[in-house]
A and B are shown apart, each in its own frame.
Chain A
Amino acid sequence: DTAVSQTPKYLVTQMGNDKSIKCEQNLGHDTMYWYKQDSKKFLKIMFSYNNKELIINETVPNRFSPKSPDKAHLNLHINSLELGDSAVYFCASSSGHNTGELFFGEGSRLTVL
């Protein structure tokens, strides 16, 4: 009965590959997010979707493409992976896009070799 679940938890891949991370929330929330946490623990917002509509696109390279098939799912596809993409990617959700409480998934650690 995990509220926000993301898969895979760990991802190790070579430079230049394409990979996807999936996220699902069962909280009935309208808004979902992707955050990137770097090696220094700095957490930066990447994207936000409200009811399948893109709300925030925070100057992320266009190699990153989010997709929200419905309001319970927000997937992240990354093309042509680079070393600098290595990080932990967190999915989160909230009941509205008014910056109330966020519910986070457990993170997906991506390592690009």
Chain B
Amino acid sequence: SQQGEEDPQALSIQEGENATMNCSYKTSINNLQWYRQNSGRGLVHLILIRSNEREKHSGRLRVTLDTSKKSSSLLITASRAADTASYFCATDEGGSEKLVFGKGTKLTVNP
């Protein structure tokens, strides 16, 4: 079953701009994770936010989590061409052992 739904499906911005991607999910969770996938490559873990956390930062990444709205956002500040990739959110459905991924947002950063 599909848990996370990313929005938008595709995003195109200029270098230096900020990029915001959203994720909505359906069931309760223990944590939510964001991954990046460059074209033709495997997924790389970016950040994990637990259900009792509201915001987390890692370098140019900022993740927020609103469990009341069952949604999360990933903000990439001062984007670079190298940030061009697909970004996926993933959640554990109802705290299960299974990590379920959304369909992803394809981000294009134009130089």
Query: In whole angstroms, how far apart are the Cα atoms of A44 and B3 in the complex?
Result: 10
**Residue on B nearest A97 in the bound complex, by CB:** B97
Query: In whole angstroms, how far apart are the Cα atoms of A42 and B41 in the complex?
Result: 14
How many whole Å from A75's CB to the nearest CB in chain B?
A: 17
Instruction: Indicate whether A12 reaches chain B with its CB closer than 8 angstroms.
Output: no
**Contacts A42-B2, A99-B30 given: A104-B43 contact, CB under 8 Å?**
yes
Query: In whole angstroms, how far apart are the Cα atoms of A55 and B99 in the complex?
Result: 13
Interface string of A26-63 (1 = CB under 8 A from B): 00000000010000111111001000000110100000
Query: In whole angstroms, how far apart are the Cα atoms of A99 and B92 in the complex?
Result: 7
Question: B71-109: which residues lie under 8 A (CB-CB) from chain A?
Answer: 86, 88, 90, 92, 96-101, 103-104, 106
Question: B17-44: which residues lie under 8 A (CB-CB) from chain A?
Answer: 30-31, 33, 35, 37, 40-44
Whether the pair B98, A56 counts as a contact (CB closer than 8 A) is yes
**Contacts A45-B99, A45-B100 given: A100-B44 contact, CB under 8 Å?**
no
Whether the pair A43, B43 counts as a contact (CB closer than 8 A) is yes
Interface centre among B48, B90, B98 (most CB of A within 10 A): B98
How many whole Å from A112's CB to the nearest CB in chain B?
A: 19
**Contacts A41-B104, A43-B88 given: A102-B31 contact, CB under 8 Å?**
no
Query: In whole angstroms, how far apart are the Cα atoms of A107 and B11 in the complex?
Result: 25
Interface of B is mostly: strand
Interface centre among A4, A92, A104 (most CB of B within 10 A): A104
**Residue on A nearest B45 in the bound complex, by CB:** A101
Query: In whole angstroms, how far apart are the Cα atoms of A108 and B31 in the complex?
Result: 28
Question: A75-95: which residues lie under 8 A (CB-CB) from chain B?
Answer: 90, 92
When distances are taken between beta carbons in the complex, the residues of chain B under 8 Å from A58 are 98
Query: In whole angstroms, how far apart are the Cα atoms of A63 and B40 in the complex?
Result: 26
Using a CB–CB distance below 8 Å, which chain A residues touch chain B?
Answer: 4, 35, 40-45, 48, 55-56, 58, 90, 92, 97-107
- For the complex with contacts A104-B43, A106-B41, 5 further pairs of A-B residues with Cβ separation under 8 Å are A56-B97, A90-B42, A99-B92, A102-B33, A104-B44
